[in-house]
Structure formats: C-alpha cells, structure tokens
Structure 1
Amino acid sequence: MTTMLEASFSKKLWHFTLNIKLEVGNEILVLSGPSGAGKTTILHCLAGLRKPFSGFIKLNNQVFFSSDDKVNIPTRYRNTGYLFQDYALFPHMTVRQNLMYGLKCKNMKPESTGTLQLLDSFGVGHLLDRYPRQLSGGEKQRVALARALAVQPQLLLLDEPFSALDKNTKEVLRQEVKRLHQQWQIPFILVTHDEEDARYLGDKLISLEGQIKEARRMVSAVT
C-alpha cells in the first residue's frame, strides 16, 4: 500500500513568508539549505507543533490541517514519528522508560513493535537502564531515533538525525535508516546540512535558499 503525504501551506516567519508545496509517497524527501531557511518550521507544521497560516496538510487522504475547513489535528493523533535535533529525551527517565512512554500513550505493547530489537539494531540495546545524562551525544541520538520509530508511524520526520555522530557510526545509521525505509515503505522527511546524507538517502530534494531579504518564496520537490 502506498502512503502519500500531500501538503501545500504558508507560514509567516519574522523575515519572510515560507510557502511550501510537496507530494511524497513511499520515499525519502530531503530538505536542505542554510540555517533560518525554514527547514525545521516545515517539520513542525507537518507534525502539528506549529500551525500554518494557510493551506492544507493530509496523509493518506486524512486531513491534518486545512485553513479552509478550519481543521488542525493535534500532534498526538497524527501518527507521526519525530526525531528532534536536540533529542528531546526525558532526563528523569531511563532509556527503557523513554521508549515505553510513547508506546503507553498509544496503548501499544513493546513486544508487538520490536522496540528492543530496534535498540539493538542501533547498537544501544545495552543502555536500557541508563539516563540521558549518562549517554554520549551519539547514543542519545540513536535512542531518540529508536523511540521515534517504535510507535510505528505512518510518517517519519528527521531533523539532522546524524549531526552528533562520528563518521563510522553515521555510515552505519544511514544504512539502517535506508533499510528501515525499504522495510516500512512510508514517507521519510529528513532535514540535513550534509551533502552525503542527501545523496545517499534522498529520493527527492527540496533546497531552500534562505535569502533573508526575500519577502516570499516558493520551493518545490525536484525528483
């Protein structure tokens, strides 16, 4: 079954109005561009963390947002996994508790989702009883990625997923993300500054120029 994300929306930022139009099937879409170009804002709007000014967002014909119809589905009902750039792990919870939190919110059982196997595949299965403060940057990022995937989302958003990793670990995780995408066949949207990430993972690319003096801009996917 093909999962399709369709979105066309605008969002006013302090220095310009961001306009974005995209259609993503079971593909990996890469958003690239300098800081301040609106990449993370796009992820936030798709996830429901920020509200667009106008337009629509829908996944498999389920409307997440529509300014015309006055629809704005809360984040928890969008079945979207999100890996934040700053990890967003709960500091007072162990790795195990961080992973189980999202599953409990969706009444999912860990044995049915392969959660522990995900941790093992990312090389952090031995860290279950540690707290985020006891992890390296790379370990935090791998745990956060496993947590985002554990809820079996229909859409996965990745904000600089490999930024804290050394070269060897980054290469291993790129391959793992590619394998998981081929297995799950859902849209992945990935923000990165790394050209190697974009070349290896991207089926489509949107490049945002980030020229602060622009009043408006329109970007579209390039296959």
Structure 2
Amino acid sequence: MKKSQIFYGSPHREEIEKRLKKFLNEQTDFLSARTINSPRAVGDAIENIITENFKTILGDLVGEYSSSFARRAMADLAFTDNDGFYYVVDVKTHRLDTKFNMPNLTSVERLSRFYEEDVNYFTLLKINYKINGTRAEIAKVTFAPIEFFDWQCLTIGALGWGQIQIANANVVKIVPKNSRKKWMLELCDTMFEFYPKEIGKIGERLDHFKKIRKAWEKRIMHDPLQLDFNRH
C-alpha cells in the first residue's frame, strides 16, 4: 500500500514543522494586552494565521487546499497532496505554563469511518507556546497524523461513542512512521476495555435512580390547595 510521502517519505514533516514555527514567531502585533492572557483568544489568533498561510508553508507539496469548515467540523483546514492523499488538519494550541490540559481530538466512530479509506489522514497540528509580554512565543510545532501519537499519551473520554483525548497536553509522545494498522488495532483493544467499564457505570447509575424513584414513590406530598384552605 502506498503511503504519504509527507509522513513516511523524506523529512517533509519535520521541515514543515520548522517552517511553520519560524513563520509564526515572525508574526507581530496579532495579540494585545487584553487578549494575551486568554488561551482561547490566543488559540483563535494562531489558528487564523495558520489557516490563512498554511498553503504557502506546504509549498509545492499541496494540490487542493481549503480552510472553510464549520466550527464543529473534524478539521480546521484540509488539503490533498500531489499523490492524491487527503489530509484533514485539526489545529490545537497549548500554553505551556498551564498545569493540566486534556484536549479532545476526535470521535472514535468518526475516525474509524474516516480511516476506511487509506488515502485519508487525520492530522494534528499542535502548537506549544509561552507568553512573553504581549507575544506568544512558539516553543514547538508538532505536525503528525493521529497514528503517530503513542497510546501512552492518549485516553478516551466518555462522550458519545468515545472521544480520543490527549491525556496531558504537556506530555506528548510521537512515534514517527508508526503503522496505522498497528495503531488502529490498539484503538480497538482500548475500546474493548473502555466500553465494559462504561456499562458498569451505567448499571450503577440505573441502580442509583431506582433508589431515587422508590424514595419519591414513598414520599407524601401535601396538596398546596388544601394547605391554603386550612390556613383560612
């Protein structure tokens, strides 16, 4: 099976990371004293710069390019390369002095459907930054498909079918050129452990509300109209 040259061929991935880091650190005046302390505002500003300029960063590696996606879409931008591989890119920003952060990546069900086609790559563009005055200094850029993220740094959140999350955004382990098949099999094994635990939790919650219902069935409620009549 042919694979993406960006991720499995020559060091395009690392070069893209270096170019983007340099480009972002050269940007000036896109933040203010008012917005610099808001991770959401900083993240939105960085994301906007990336979506507007990432096609240029990719250079002749890119064929078609799009950054027009709804807020809840799987990606912030997408492109095809010259070999016909399709990349959806989710931009994640992380302020390094925050102690704990567990960003959602994607739904396990959505990813499993997307990866039915070998030409598709769900790609994360993770931007680590630190604050210096009114500047966001980019410390590290990680550009990699989700299958390069080691399961040691991932977890599953109980939302819908399950949400893949980075367990701690300060600790990310990348396995370059990792096998998608191997990673997807690990995903399946992870879900085989996750779902029975969720079933157990649901059983506990059902038991809890059975007790609540019984308590309410036994409760004697006074008729407010009768109480009002007795006052007179």
TM-score norm. by structure 2 comes to: 0.27
TM-score norm. by structure 1 comes to: 0.28
Structure with higher Rg: it is 2
RCO (CA 8 Å, sep 6+): is it higher in 1 or 2? 1
Structure with more helix by fraction: 2
